[in-house]
Amino acid sequence: MKPSFWRGRRVFVTGHTGFKGAWLCLWLRELGAQVGGYALRPPTQPSLFELAKAGAGITGVTGDVRDLPALSAALSAFKPEVVLHMAAQSVVLDAYETPADTFATNVMGTVNLLEAVRRQGQRATVVNVTTDKVYLNQRWPWAYRETDTLGGRDPYSNSKACSEFVTASYAASFFPMADLARHGVALATARAGNVVGGGDWTPHQLVPAVVAAASAGLPVELRNPQAVRPWQHVLDCLNGYLTLAEQLHDDPLKASGGWNFGPAVDETVTVAQLTELLASHWPVSKPWVQAPGAQPHEEHELRLDSTQAARVLDWRCALPTEQALAWVAQWHLGVQQGKTALQVSLEQIGAYTDLLARRAAA
């Protein structure tokens, strides 16, 4: 990610009040970008967006991505150069409770965003953020590549796979690469693994549950302790989105399509291992216990192959899993010890930016 690219750039972010959206707003603001946001009110209390004052200095609009006229009006008024679409219903268990709302938000929300871009009739670079769960899980031991079949059995995974199909349809029907000079719209999708970071209070998510339990000196209940997931720090994830957007802007033919962003395969750990690593930063004797009763279906193993991003975009996770979890703990411990959420977040953004600069210079 090149900081100079973002200075003064007009960037429209859907879902900017969420956990990842708040981190992205803070980072873009530090980079000197002009940020426009479109989202519902913060989805949790407390929320990083409010605690870290992530909305300061940006043009924020409160709205639902299912509302095409409102979304189209907000996007047209802001006239973005780059669009990062992150608004979604992102919790697997919530999707079981509200499947219709999940499909409406994740599928029609994507339709509405791309339709708003089409109606605007201006050049734009658009990254649709989906998930590692878009792949049809074959239950094999190796990592999924961008060329593998998309699918998804549970409502959340399926809805995000549908979002990928919507993006591909708009790319083929309205924004074909062969006619780029006319329409000026470049599309890509970003499929990231499970994201960790300070300031996440999303219900039914592992890291917020571990932090809450460990802070209270209690074990957390795990639904599937031996499940394997590709965990990565939120700043590594966002660095992937920003790097992809830069390349898509500069070379649409090279950077369009789907992209995986995940940790190295040997950095993939189980739910139990992640819990133990994170909880070790608090004085808790027993990090976890098995949750009682039957649990909703979740795939046992997910791994991402990010070779394409490494080879073409020169992107890799800068924070190994253990260090990423240490940063999560340091964020929460810092706030518990009296620092502000904004202060700790900007310290970590600065440290991460320095880390990227050192790696680029090596």
Angle at 331 between CA 328 and CA 132, to 5 degrees: 30
Residues 83, 45: Cα–Cα separation, whole Å: 27
Instruction: Compute the average pLDDT of residues 285-298.
Output: 84
Q: For residue 277, is it within any domain?
A: no
Does 295 have pLDDT greater than 90?
Answer: no
Question: pLDDT class for 174, splitting at 50, 70, 90?
Answer: very high
Domain of 37, CATH number, reads: 3.40.50.720
Residue 13's DSSP bridge partners are 37, 84
Does 164 have pLDDT greater than 70?
Answer: yes
Per DSSP, which regions of 212-276 are E strands? 220-222, 228-229, 231-233, 257-261, 269-270
C-alpha pair distances (Å), 110 with each of 142, 260, 297: 30, 19, 26
Encoded tokens for 104: 């409406």
Smallest CA-to-CA distance from 231 within 324, 299, 147 is with: 324
Does 124 have pLDDT greater than 90?
Answer: yes
Does 229 have pLDDT greater than 70?
Answer: yes
What does the pLDDT read at residue 297? 66
Q: For residue 338, is it within any domain?
A: no
Q: For residue 175, is it within any domain?
A: yes
Q: Is the dihedral of CA 324, 325, 328, 332 positive or negative?
A: negative
Averaged pLDDT score across all residues of the chain: 95
What does the pLDDT read at residue 137? 87
What are the pLDDT digits (tens) for 53-86? 999 999 999 999 999 999 999 999 999 999 999 9
Burial class (CB in 10 A: 0-12, 13-18, 19+), 245: buried
DSSP designation for 105: I
Q: For residue 221, is it within any domain?
A: no
Write out the DSSP string of 38-89. EE-S-SSSS-HHHHTTTTTTSEEEE--TT-HHHHHHHHHHH--SEEEE----
Q: For residue 109, is it within any domain?
A: yes
Question: pLDDT class for 24, splitting at 50, 70, 90?
Answer: very high
Cα 223 from chain centre: 23
Q: Which helix (H) or strand (E) holds 203?
A: none
What does the pLDDT read at residue 150? 96
What does the pLDDT read at residue 135? 95
Alpha helices in 144-185 (DSSP H): 155-173, 180-183
Which residue range is the domain that position 73 belongs to? 3-196+234-268+296-319
Does 93 have pLDDT greater than 90?
Answer: no
Q: Tell which wins on pLDDT, 142 or 7.
A: 7
Does 294 have pLDDT greater than 80?
Answer: no
Smallest CA-to-CA distance from 187 within 141, 145, 129 is with: 129
Residues 285, 280: Cα–Cα separation, whole Å: 9
Domain count, the chain: 1
Angle at 60 between CA 90 and CA 207, to 5 degrees: 30
What are the pLDDT digits (tens) for 302-347? 889 999 999 999 999 999 999 999 999 999 999 999 999 999 999 9
Residue 304's DSSP bridge partners are 144
Measured between its terminal Cα atoms, the distance across the chain in Å is: 16
Cα 61 from chain centre: 20
Q: For residue 7, is it within any domain?
A: yes
Does 254 have pLDDT greater than 90?
Answer: yes
Instruction: Compute the average pLDDT of residues 153-175.
Output: 96
Q: For residue 276, is it within any domain?
A: no
Q: For residue 205, is it within any domain?
A: no
C-alpha pair distances (Å), 219 with each of 38, 199, 291, 294, 336: 37, 20, 11, 19, 19
Does 10 have pLDDT greater than 90?
Answer: yes
Smallest CA-to-CA distance from 119 within 74, 164, 161 is with: 74
Q: Are 279 and 289 in contact (CB under 8 A)?
A: no
- Left (φ > 0), alpha (ψ -120 to 50) or beta: where does 80 sit? beta
